[in-house]
Structure 1
Amino acid sequence: MADPTSYFTGAQRNLLPEKTRDLIGRREHALGSAYRLFYEQPIEFVRGSGTKLYDADGVEYLDVYNNVQSVGHAHPRVTAAISDQSALLNTHTRYLHRGIVDYSEQLLATMPAVLDTVMYACTGSEANDLALRLAKHATGRRGVIVTANAYHGTSTEVAAISPSLGGTASVADWVRIVPAPWGDGVGWADQINDAIASLDAAGHGLAALITDTIFSSDGVLPGGPAGFLRPAVDAAHAAGGLFIADEVQAGFGRLGAGMWGFARHEVVPDLVTLGKPMGNGYPVAAVVAHKAIVDAFGHDVRYFNTFGGSPVQIAAAQATFDVLRDEALIDNARRVGGYLVDGILEVAGGHDANVAVRGAGLFIGVDLCTPAGAPDGDRAIAVVNELRARRVLISASGLHNNVLKVRPPLPFSASDADRFLTELDGALSAV
């Protein structure tokens, strides 16, 4: 499987400043080859503020990629909350602490009533790992269905359901892969049923269908008509399986229509996983579930996470939650996201017709194709690196690595969007 188009290959190593070459060499020696760097000319960042990042020479870059710092880099309310709580106490969930209860009640209030219990972890990978454990325990089965280029994390369990990491050969034998959904979802549900039949025939049965609710790694697919995921979810339920909504990337208002991506599809998951933007860069994650699922699991299995739900984690999550509300960032994602989609369509139309744009809120995918209509990963790598040269940061995704991934922090403004559109226009011209 090809690497994502934005990774450093070393082809331009000799063109880099000596200090950058030295740092890359030391990193390679210390960290090994499993790690990756963005861009053919990697950047050393030392500071962030809002939607901007600054390199070691003080040069400013526009961040159109990082959804981890969802309410903006180094947001003063979040950093203050982390600092203040660190100065007071940081233990674990085996002691009473009012903060975790207050935050949990507020978080659960944003979910459908049936999702009434939350369990904490540190990363999206841990959350998805825990969700699989819950699903397998609840159903007594082990089979899982994922999409063709899905990414759900890096633990042994969730790497085994993440074909984007190592291709289809890397998934476990209890996993079945289906294409990313299309149309009204009926044809996709037929493929879900075929996958269920295959799992049954192999003796695995279906424990869970898991999807990222924006299908980010599959190329940013916001979906067809409202409810287009329902036939697939119904098929999973009919087979006795659960539906896990992976909101690690799409959640917390990024899609500009409420807090959660699954709501756009008019489905109610059995389990919801949260991560990346939850603490604005501080590692906090969670699984939200029905109490009966959690209680049955807890009766048989002891769950504990040393840092999951710690007072500092919760302080970061609470401050992020508060900023999201107080600064009306979900509405901003809707407004600026719509402005961006219109602008990208206009810019792309000035170059050629082989560009497709789709998105929801501030999560946008831009397909780059050849004149014959084939996915154009080579062009994507050129655009990603050209934008980096213009001090604008994006990445790429999709099965063929030809989809520009536009996913900025949620305070992204109309003026930020104008800057991005100007540089995108220049980058498309340059390549």
Structure 2
Amino acid sequence: MATRSTIMDTNSFRPEMAAALDPQTRRLTEEREVLGPAYRLFYRKPVHLTKGRGARVWDADGEEYLDVYNNVASVGHANPRVVDAIARQAGLLNTHTRYLHENVLDYAQDILSTMPGELDRVMFQCTGSEANDLAVRVARAYTGGEGVIVTAEAYHGNSALTSGLSPALGTAQELGLTMRMIPTPDTYRLEIDGCPGNACPAAEFGAWMAGEVRRAVADMERHGIRFAALLADSIFSSDGVYPDPAGYLGPVIDTVHELGGVWIADEVQPGFTRTGDAFWGFQRQGIVPDLVTSGKPMANGLPTSLMAARHEVLEPFAGSIPYFNTFGGNPVCMAAAQATLDVMRDEDTMGNAKRVGTVFRRAVEGLMADHPCIGDVRGAGLYIGCEIVVPGTKEPDQATALDILETLRMHHVLTSVCGRFGNILKLRPPLVFSEEDVDMFMDAMAVTLRELGL
């Protein structure tokens, strides 16, 4: 029997839950049948949202919720500067990139200015799936290989190519024959030469992971597959949020290059100031990737993504194969992306992620002494993983994690879970999250833990 998808099914509404819903909510869930059975809703009692502002959203009854999950509205729901930029450009022109237009060129230069100089080319798409799909094609053209390495619980998209590189979609999803998985860099459970992963020096932890890459490439070679790329995000978000020890990816990427591959840094999750330490997640690791992809946070909700590249890596693909994306790089999306980037700079979202993220993480850590169901709290900036376990052990406790999640929802706090066992609370709010928002979360969390007897 196929296992459920950790990122899609763990915290999802299922039809058998409909009997407990109020008539209006039940009607809307039933009407969603027109969308087909593949779609998922959050929560046993789905939330019907109608508006948002900053890190707050409101449902159809006017009830206010705290959004502790949304990296799409990266600079806050309905950010007025982004809304104005969209409206102005939509009132003038929206078309594709086969005509000249300043917006795409200005934004291309601006976003590349946030990256190391070696990354000097950028192409635009609509989704992270499209960006990762293109990056794999570019990597294969450059290396002449086919094999791609991902981590054991990775999610990199839902195109035919990227879904085959996304084990988090569950066993019903057929994985690519040229793909190989390496273990999650689980610093909570791993021990390396007797050293707990979360206390292991970066060089030693990196050496362990580099060894896993070597084993994966050796297996490819035994099957006649040439290595092309490691595709990974530097915070390992779907795997369970493992950003540290900072610098441990250095030996890993050195090994990737030694073996003839390239690193595709999937920055959909750690990029755009999310970690608080740097604009891009890979910068925390002190490495310059060969290819960079991003999507969701770019334009505060409009479908926009990118693939940045070293020009020499891009050339074998782009010099021979035409590429065109009808909506990628259109003037309206570029206006939204530019406004989002301007807000990030002017309002110092990186500084806010660092400052408020530190307050947030320490507050959640402060619960551990009195609530042994919280086994570990880790993260960087405004991306925190709170691991729920059987008290006194490191055994994952998905059932309790979901009870916490659902009770938080009833107390008007929205978030989700991640990781192989679906037991890690994924706390990933908009970048405008404030200390007042932290207080609201902590009040709801305290009530939740008390009500559940945890």
CA RMSD of aligned residues (A): 1.2
Distance of aligned partners of 1:126 and 1:82 in 2 relative to their CA distance in 1, 3 Å threshold:
same
Look up the match of 2:413: 392
Match of 2:176 in 1: 172
Q: 1:147–1:180: 8 Å Cα contact kept in structure 2?
A: yes
Distance in 2, matches of 1:352 and 1:3, equals: 27
C-alpha distance in 2, partners of 1:197/1:240? 12
Distance of 2:451 and 2:152 partners within structure 1:
32
Q: Distance in 1 between matches of 2:5 and 2:213?
A: 28
Cα-to-partner distance string for 1:300-329 (whole Å, 9 max, x where unaligned):
111010111110110010000000011111
CA apart distance, 1:126: 0.3
Q: Does 1:89 align with 2:93?
A: yes
Could you tell me which of 246, 252, 265 is aligned with 1:245?
A: 265
Cα separation, partners in 2 of 1:122 and 1:23, compared to 1, 3 Å: same
Q: Work out the CA distance in 1 between the residues paired with 2:348 and 2:114.
A: 15
1:18 CA displacement:
0.3
Question: For each residue in 1:132-155, what CA deviation from the matched residue of structure 2 results, as whole angstroms up to 9, or x when unmatched?
Answer: 000000011100000000000000
2:347 match: 327
Paired residues of 2:265 and 2:289 also in contact (CA < 8 A): yes
Unpaired runs of 5+ residues, structure 2, are: 188-196, 198-204
TM-superposed CA distance for 1:12, in Å, is 3.5
Say which of 30, 36, 44 aligns to 1:25: 30
Structure 1 position 3, deviation (Å):
4.2
* 1:72 matched to 2:93: no
Matched, 1:338 2:355: no
Cross-structure match for 1:412:
433
Residues 1:196 and 2:217 are matched in the alignment: yes
Amino acid at match of 1:230: G
Q: How far is the alpha carbon of 1:354 from its aligned partner?
A: 4.3
Q: CA deviation at 1:295?
A: 2.6
Q: Do the aligned residues in 2 keep the contact of 1:10 with 1:40 (CA within 8 Å)?
A: no
In the alignment, structure 1 residue 361 sits paired with structure 2 residue 363: no
2:360 and 2:61 mapped to 1: Cα distance? 30
**3-state DSSP of counterpart to 1:216:** coil
Q: How does 1:310-321 map to 2 (within 5 A)?
A: 310-321=330-341
Letter in 2 for 1:70: S
Q: Shift in Å at residue 166 of structure 1?
A: 2.0
Q: Does structure 2 conserve the Cα–Cα contact (< 8 Å) formed by 1:354 and 1:373?
A: no
Contact 1:348 1:425 survives alignment (8 Å): no
Structure 2 letter corresponding to 1:341: R
SS in 2 for 1:279: coil
CA distance in 2, matches of 1:169, 1:175: 13
- Match of 2:52, SS state, is strand
Partner of 1:47: 51
Match of 2:190 in 1: none
1:293 deviates by 2.3
Out of 120, 125, 145, which is 2:124 matched to?
120
Matched, 1:135 2:139: yes
Cα offset, 1:168, TM superposition? 8.9
Question: 1:347, 1:421 within 8 Å by CA — same for their partners in 2?
Answer: no
Q: Which residue of 1 aligns with 2:234?
A: 213
Cα drift, residue 399 of structure 1: 0.2
Q: Deviations over 1:233-282 (max 9, x none)?
A: 11110111000100011110011011100011111100000100000000
SS class of match (1:128): helix
Q: What does the per-residue CA deviation read over 1:396-421, in whole Å, with 9 as the maximum and x for residues that have no partner?
A: 00000000000000110000001101
Indicate yes or no: 2:60 matched with 1:56: yes
> Which string of whole-angstrom CA distances, capped at 9 and with x for unpartnered residues, describes residues 340-380 of structure 1?
11100112322226421001000000000012320000011
Match of 1:276, SS state, is: coil
Q: Any unmatched runs of 5+ in structure 1?
A: none
1:382 partnered with 2:403: yes
Q: How does 1:145-160 map to 2 (within 5 A)?
A: 145-160=149-164
Matching residue's letter, 1:343: A
Q: Distance in 1 between matches of 2:369 and 2:172?
A: 35
In structure 2, what is the Cα distance between the partners aligned to 1:76 and 1:353?
A: 41
Q: Does the aligned pair in 2 maintain the 1:351–1:429 contact within 8 Å?
A: no
The Cα of 1:215 is off from its aligned counterpart by 0.6
Task: Answer with 341-350 or 144-153: which moved more.
Answer: 341-350
**What residue identity is the alignment partner of 1:16?**
L
d(CA) in 2 for partners of 1:95, 1:14: 53
Which shows bigger deviation, 160-169 or 80-89?
160-169
- Structure 2 partner of 1:270: 290
Q: So what's the TM-score if we normalise by structure 1?
A: 0.97
Matched residues in 2 for 1:241 and 1:204: separation? 12
Are the counterparts in 1 of residues 164 and 173 from structure 2 also a CA contact under 8 Å? no
Query: Cα offset for 1:294?
Result: 2.2
2: distance between equivalents of 1:131 and 1:54? Answer: 37
Residues 375 and 394, structure 2, Cα contact 8 Å, conserved in 1: no
Quick check: 340-349 or 64-73, which moved more?
340-349
Question: Is the CA contact (8 Å cut-off) linking 1:118 and 1:288 kept in structure 2?
Answer: yes
Query: Match of 1:73, SS?
Result: coil
Contact 2:373–2:390 (Cα < 8 Å) also in 1: no
Q: Distance in 1 between matches of 2:5 and 2:313?
A: 38
Which stretch shows the higher mean deviation, 362-371 or 163-172?
163-172
- Which deviates more, 154-163 or 340-349? 340-349
The separation in 2 between residues aligned to 1:3 and 1:154, in whole angstroms, is: 13
Partner of 2:302: 282
Q: CA 1:62–1:353 in 2, change beyond 3 Å: closer, same or farther?
A: closer
Give the partner amino acid of 1:347: L
Cα contact 2:51–2:57 (8 A) shared by 1:
yes
Counterpart secondary structure, 2:232: strand
**Per-residue displacement from partner, 1:146-205 (whole Å, max 9, x unpaired)?**
000000000000000000002397311100001112442211111110001111111111
CA contact (8 A) 2:273 2:279 kept: yes
3-state SS of paired residue (1:348): coil
Letter in 2 for 1:301: I
* Paired residue type of 1:412: F
| Contact 1:333–1:362 (Cα < 8 Å) also in 2 | yes
